[in-house]
Amino acid sequence: MSLETASPSAQHRRHGSNAGQPLTRRDGVLKVTGRATYAADNHPEGMLYAVTAVSRIARGRVTSLNVAAAKAHPGVVEVLTPANRPPLAHDPDVKMPPFGFRVEVLQDDTVRYVNQPIALVIAETLEAATEGAALLNPQYDIDIARTGLESGERFGLAAVGVGAPPRTAHGDIEAGLAAATRVTEADYVTPQQFHNAMEPHAVVAEWDGDRVTLDMPNQALALSCASYAAYFGIPAENVLIRSPFLGGGFGSKAILNGPQILAILAARMLKRPVKLALTRTQMYGPVGHRGHTWQKLRIGTDNEGRLTALHHQALCATSSFDEFIEPAANASLPLYASPAILAEHEGLRLDIGTPGPMRAPGEASGSAALEVAMDEAAIACGMDPLEFRLANYAETEPGTGRPFSSKALRECYAEGAKRFGWSGRPLEPRRMRDENGFLVGWGMGTAVFHCPHFPAEARATLRADGTALVETAGADMGQGAWTALAQIAAEALGLDPDQVELHSGISSLPDGGIAGGSGHTASAGLALHNAGEDAIARLAEIATADPASPLFGAGNIGVAARSGRLHRHDDEGRSESYAEILARAGRAEVVGTAKAARDPAIAEAHAMFSHGAVFAEVKVDPDLGQVRVSRLVGAFAAGRIINPRLVRSQYFGGMIWGMSFALQEEAIADRRTGRIMNADLAEYHVPVNADVPSLDAILIPEDDPYVNPLGVKGVGEVGITGTVGAIANAVWHATGVRVRRFPIRIEDLLVDRT
């Protein structure tokens, strides 16, 4: 590559059709020059800084705060505590559907988890606010914290994840187990993990009368506007959220949290703009996390290695005052054929912040356990793990028998195995060494993620100069939405992506739905697609009704939009540019709008999932137990691919998250106090560059006529699933040690060498 091809002007050169091209990111130049503005980069005139003081106990009551000391610190303007916190229009202990959680906004002196906000200090400088918060020196009445399996309270559940049933049964599980020639049974534990987006949660709030502007990273603009409006007793249209860039979200920026609400409240109280950014440590509590799970799997198999029963139980931690239950056991529902499947969940109440959705909620933890259990079952049957999965391939959705909207998993297995070189893998562990004497292991896992679709709206405006403006209030947290959505819109509009301006990331635009569940490209994309088609239809109406147009009278025959021109279907030679049509009609623009949602009948009739197969190679020091992943190959089928460059990056990111889950991430809470002892980025390990192996992501073609009219599935989360198990299975294959607690640690592998 030369510098010329990397220059911004060449980045969006058109290569044939719009969608499907590996265009570089539209926001690339802004991001590499530091001109992309994230929430905390805003600095309105007269702005104050807010810093939360947080609880260092998990359960009890704040008995005193040294407000005088904080206020005496030069620069401190105000200290918000339960004693002087202005009223809110919504009770923070009442959940606000659909994604509302109970939040802590100084409603009283109760402490229900570590790092809960217990005061907010507002000052002229960040330094003063920070020290003011430190000077509060809280005193507590401490109750014994419930921090683990032994002390937590188990309870039955009404729902898991976002409204899914806590128990799903297909067939008779006990009969299935009784019919098995072998039953593989094991327990698996996954830890508390934290999203740790690189950008800490931040808000800059500025009020103008009863209108407020919020600069904040936000994955769910319209929903959030409604929620903030409820808290502040103002109409939703009085809340403007600007979220042009998010420094990562992974689920943690889709949900309201106490500190941000308090900062907005402080701005109203003090009649000045207020900025708040959480510290890294403060992100371990009030902004969600992936909940701790304890899972049990029972897999019954017959003599041919076919499943007779798949029983997945999950005990999932949540807070003492709210529920988000990692739907881990549901990972066993859509994947392997079995006459009997039972997925069931139980809750465990602990004195922790409420968990929340974190990249592949449920699927990641559940797949980690399921894929290891499948490996164990394969070994019990004396079968190659891939062969075993193929023997249990689900041609239709297990249990329901519904057809899959599309499922190229078989091709994923085949291509992934081929690229990886899976064949010839010894069944037994500890059979492979590299030239340096390290143990080498190969493992695999199946990846699966469902395909949600959120209602979304969009607007497409064809302008007099033949270019277009398309608008939807979406969120690009790194998945590449701005680029992929522009490609989709451009295709619908018959334009080059360079001719399409995309406005997004601000709540005043048509509701782009939620950037979550790997459903944003499909949801907002379909709205943009339909809006584009609407604009073209309106333009065609003008042209075909205009006697001066070469397209006059083509109404019934139809026209096609291509390269900025409308063409007659029956006579390609007869065409006219958008600009010409608009000019003659004396129109400055034509506006198309659309609302898009999934057809419930089609959704009901089909099972819709992205799939993949992940193959991992690890190297393990035979004496010292340190693990290094040396290769990861993933083959994924996720419908139509809008931008392969960005999709590959999403898969890489997911696979690295899987590696992180398998080998690194774990928040360690003190068993007595519940305080997380590694609430930072030094000792809460996430992968660094040197951890990253050779990565290969294969895009398996898949045509899906049902999932949505675009044929697009999600790619953001599927990559984690499968990978965790693949790596854990590779570690077993290298060492012969089966670790059922994540992350796998050095001491787990310090086996006796004798």
Partner 1 sequence: MSLSIGLTINGQPRTVTLDDPRVTLLDLLRERLDLTGTKKGCDRGQCGACTVLVDGRRVNSCLALAASLDGAEVSTIEGLAEGETLHPVQAAFIEHDGFQCGYCTPGQIMSAVGLIAEGHAGADPERIQELMSGNICRCGAYQGITEAVLEAQKILAERNRRAAA
Partner 2 sequence: MNRFDYIRPASVPEAVAAAAVPGSAYLAAGTNLVDLMKGGAARPERVIDITRLPGLDRIEWLADGGVRIGALVRNSDLAYDERLSRTFPSVAEALLSGASAQLRNAATVGGNLMQRTRCAYFHDLAGACNRRVPGSGCDALEGENRLHAVLGWSEHCIATHPSDFCVPLVALDAVVEVEGPHGGREIALDTLHMLPGSTPEQETALMPGELIVAIRLPAEAAAFSRNARYLKLRERTSYAFAVVSAATALEIEDGVIRAARIALGGVAAKPWRARDAEALLVDRTASPEAFAMAANLALAEARPSGDNAFKIELARRIVVRALSLALEGTPEFMPALPASPFSTITGANHVA
675 binds partner 2 (CB under 8 A): yes
595 binds partner 2 (CB under 8 A): no
Residues 56 to 115: which contact partner 2 by CB under 8 A?
A: 56-57, 73-74
664 binds partner 2 (CB under 8 A): yes
Q: Which does 745 bind (CB under 5 to 8 A by kind): partner 1, partner 2, none?
A: partner 2
617 binds partner 2 (CB under 8 A): no
Residues 263 to 282: which contact partner 2 by CB under 8 A?
A: none
Question: How many Cβ atoms sit within 10 Å of the Cβ of residue 695?
Answer: 17
Listed in sequence order, the DSSP H helices in 19-112 are 28-33, 67-72
746 binds partner 2 (CB under 8 A): yes
The C-alpha atoms of residue 258 and residue 111 are separated, in whole angstroms, by: 13
Q: Which does 248 bind (CB under 5 to 8 A by kind): partner 2, partner 1, none?
A: partner 1
Cβ of residue 257: shortest distance to partner 2, in angstroms?
Answer: 22
The C-alpha atoms of residue 739 and residue 655 are separated, in whole angstroms, by: 20
Which tokens sit at 364?
A: 């990641």
Partners of 187 in beta bridges: 296
Site string for partner 2, 159-198 (x = CB under 8 A): ----------------------------------------
Q: Of 102-110, 167-175, 283-291, 669-677, which part binds partner 2 (CB under 8 A)?
A: 669-677
Partners of 202 in beta bridges: 277
Which tokens sit at 549?
A: 């147009």
Q: Of 41-49, 86-94, 688-696, 729-737, which part binds partner 2 (CB under 8 A)?
A: 688-696
Q: Which is nearer to partner 1, 589 or 680 (CB)?
A: 680
Cβ of residue 171: shortest distance to partner 1, in angstroms?
Answer: 39
Residues 6+ apart with CB under 8 A from 723: 445, 447, 614, 616, 632, 634, 654, 655, 657, 658, 659, 661, 662
Listed in sequence order, the DSSP H helices in 118-242 are 126-134, 173-179, 221-232
Question: How many Cβ atoms sit within 10 Å of the Cβ of residue 475?
Answer: 29
Rounded to the nearest 10 degrees, how much is the dihedral formed by the CA atoms of 144, 148, 153, 157? 140
Q: Which is nearer to partner 2, 248 or 687 (CB)?
A: 687
Q: Which is nearer to partner 1, 107 or 279 (CB)?
A: 279
My answer on whether omega of the bond before 355 falls inside 30° of 0, hence cis, is: no
Binding residue (CB under 8 A) for partner 2 from 673, 723, 729, 735: 673
CB 66 within 8 A of CB 135: yes
Task: Name residue 227's amino acid.
Answer: S
- The site for partner 1 (CB under 8 A) is made up of 1, 3, 5-8, 11, 24-25, 27-38, 40-41, 43, 49, 125-128, 131, 196-200, 245-250, 277, 279-280, 477-480, 645-646, 648-650, 652-657, 680-682, 686-690, 692, 695
Catalytic residue list: 717
The C-alpha atoms of residue 166 and residue 342 are separated, in whole angstroms, by: 11
CA angle 285, 627, 423 (to 5 degrees): 120
Residues 625 to 644: which contact partner 2 by CB under 8 A?
A: 625-626, 628
Q: Which does 423 bind (CB under 5 to 8 A by kind): partner 1, partner 2, none?
A: none
Q: Which is nearer to partner 1, 22 or 426 (CB)?
A: 22
Closest of 377, 368, 299, 369 to residue 339, by C-alpha: 299
Q: Which does 197 bind (CB under 5 to 8 A by kind): partner 2, partner 1, none?
A: partner 1
Question: How many Cβ atoms sit within 10 Å of the Cβ of residue 569?
Answer: 12
The C-alpha atoms of residue 744 and residue 679 are separated, in whole angstroms, by: 19
Q: Which is nearer to partner 2, 175 or 668 (CB)?
A: 668
CB 312 within 8 A of CB 331: yes
Positions that interact with partner 2 (CB under 8 A) = 56-57, 73-74, 127, 130-131, 134, 436, 438, 619, 621, 623-626, 628, 663-664, 668-673, 675, 677-678, 682-683, 685, 687-691, 745-747, 750
